[in-house]
Amino acid sequence: MKMSKKGFENYWNPIVETLPLEKMKELQLKKFKNIVQWAYERSKFHRKLYQEAGLEPGDIKSYEDVARVPKVEKAMMRDIQRKDPFPYGDALCVPLEEVTEFRQTSGTTGTPVYQPDTWQDWEWWAESWAYLLYAQGYRRTDRVFLPFGYNIFVAFWAGHYAAEKIGCEVVPGGVLDTEARLLKIQELKATAMMATPTYVLGMADTARKKLGIDPAKDLTIRKITCAGEPGASIPSTKQRMEEAWGAKVYDHVGATEIGAWGFECTAQPGGLHVNEALFLTQLEDIETGEIIEEPGRRGKIVITALDRMAQPCIRFDSKDVAEWSKDPCPCGRTFRIIKGGVVGRSDDITKIKGVLIAPSAIEEVVRSIKGLSNEFEAVVIKKGDLDDITLKIELLPDAEGNREAILNQLRDQLRLKTNLGYNIEVHPYNSLPRYEVKAKRFKDLRK
């Protein structure tokens, strides 16, 4: 663990970020035992879960034993909440009066889950974001603009506090509309920004059409941190964002119940580092539950936040699907990389005409074709016993002359990348729904 002082500058914490994997696992095991013990002693929910599985905290002796601990799913949290201690229920591990922060999940997959945090947990949230922002090149000299609604969803809240912690100047662009946000970015010469991919592209569109501003030339944003959607890890979407803004676009992945557990670094290695200092992350075979250690095999991510105390996140089934990368990162971090980021969600990956498909594969194709707008919508229905998928797209106004060539390219690429044939519907430019935060572009109406 020798490192020159000069080598420190690229890391938020060079000690843990360059720790060999075996040492990291040793550290994780110790912390995992602690958090399980903490939850067992304080949370009725966890104690019951473990007792029913015939497990006591003392039974965890090796790293392999981690997988013996029962998983927690979002639905289980929904079931115990809205009860005393109100509204969090039996998983709360601290006296209610120690909770200083309330957030909730977006409710995309059902009733929202509430997330209580103490001030220490909130510091921890900011810490997890500080690792990622620092890895993405945020420094004290940055003026960071946050164009999101500061409300009950965690979104970029911790990004705000982490940027402050790093020493950046933070500009909260809360209730301003898109045009006002763009003008403020221009006025203040902001250098960095955090937003969902949908909003990053939408802002660029608004800048050009309504303000006559070319973000790449007229604004000074040079790094953008994305969250909330997989777009920044989809090469074609990332490229569109980077070209539109003349900025580096970095992905990060996290969840309200978990924390900010993965991030892309400035080396952009084609994947996301897992923050192994704060999270114990395992990939499980979706069918068998077997732990996957080798690269190149997909599984779902089961994750533990090692230091989150008020409502512990222990072996949380994130439903995110990923695979380990075999390549080390040129940045020098030993935090493992999930190749290509989160490639889908186990509950999103669906079978259409007998073919398994992740909606992100459609996005990758549409956004890779010049002449198509950023917006699209895929709708799956049942026609008799057969699945039928329609892809609605828009041609850019100046692409009408190449209509047939573009549509042929789209059909070929869709066939190649998704193994499916689609009904293609071309809609007038600007007529498909526009989204401000998280987009819903894949609609499965068979259910």
Point out which residues bind other proteins (CB under 8 A).
Answer: 1-3, 13-16, 19, 23, 26-27, 30-31, 118-120, 122-124, 127, 277-278, 307
For other proteins, the closer of residues 27 and 399 by Cβ is: 27
Strand bridging mode 355-357 / 372-383: unpaired
For other proteins, the closer of residues 34 and 408 by Cβ is: 34
Q: What is the dihedral of CA 103, 105, 111, 114, to 10 degrees?
A: -30
Q: How far is the CB of 303 from other proteins (least distance, A)?
A: 17
* Among 129, 115, 75, CA closest to 254: 129
Separation in Å, CA 80 to CA 49, 83, 316: 12, 7, 15
Cα separation of 181 and 78, whole Å?
36
Alpha-helical (H) ranges within 91-245 are 119-135, 157-166, 178-188, 197-211, 215-218, 235-245
For other proteins, the closer of residues 88 and 131 by Cβ is: 131
The angle that helices 197-211 and 235-245 make with each other, rounded to 10 degrees, is 40
Separation in Å, CA 263 to CA 259, 285, 328: 12, 23, 15
Coil, helix or strand for 342? coil
Q: How far is the CB of 417 from other proteins (least distance, A)?
A: 42
For other proteins, the closer of residues 124 and 156 by Cβ is: 124
Cα separation of 120 and 205, whole Å?
40
| E strand residue ranges, 276-422 | 279-284, 291-292, 299-305, 316-322, 337-339, 344-345, 350-352, 355-357, 372-383, 386-395
Q: How far is the CB of 14 from other proteins (least distance, A)?
A: 7
Q: How far is the CB of 131 from other proteins (least distance, A)?
A: 10
User: DSSP letters along 231-258, please?
Assistant: GGGSHHHHHHHHHHHTSEEEEEEEETTT
Q: How far is the CB of 26 from other proteins (least distance, A)?
A: 5
For other proteins, the closer of residues 123 and 387 by Cβ is: 123
For other proteins, the closer of residues 163 and 358 by Cβ is: 163
Q: How far is the CB of 279 from other proteins (least distance, A)?
A: 12
Q: How far is the CB of 84 from other proteins (least distance, A)?
A: 25
Q: How far is the CB of 109 from other proteins (least distance, A)?
A: 31
Report whether 252 contacts 105 (CB < 8 A): no
For other proteins, the closer of residues 66 and 395 by Cβ is: 66
Q: How many C-beta neighbours within 10 Å does residue 397 have?
A: 10
Q: How far is the CB of 42 from other proteins (least distance, A)?
A: 17
The angle formed by the CA atoms of residues 373, 377 and 383, to the nearest 5 degrees, is 145
Q: Which residues of 406-415 are buried (b: 16+ CB within 10 A; e: fewer)?
A: bbebbeeebe
Q: How far is the CB of 22 from other proteins (least distance, A)?
A: 10
Report whether 227 contacts 252 (CB < 8 A): yes
For other proteins, the closer of residues 280 and 365 by Cβ is: 280
Cα separation of 200 and 123, whole Å?
27
For other proteins, the closer of residues 161 and 316 by Cβ is: 161
Report whether 166 contacts 116 (CB < 8 A): no
Instruction: Write out the two tokens for 187.
Output: 């006025």
Q: How far is the CB of 119 from other proteins (least distance, A)?
A: 5
For other proteins, the closer of residues 258 and 378 by Cβ is: 258
Report whether 179 contacts 144 (CB < 8 A): no
Alpha-helical (H) ranges within 55-156 are 74-80, 119-135
For other proteins, the closer of residues 15 and 405 by Cβ is: 15
Q: How far is the CB of 99 from other proteins (least distance, A)?
A: 13
For other proteins, the closer of residues 16 and 272 by Cβ is: 16
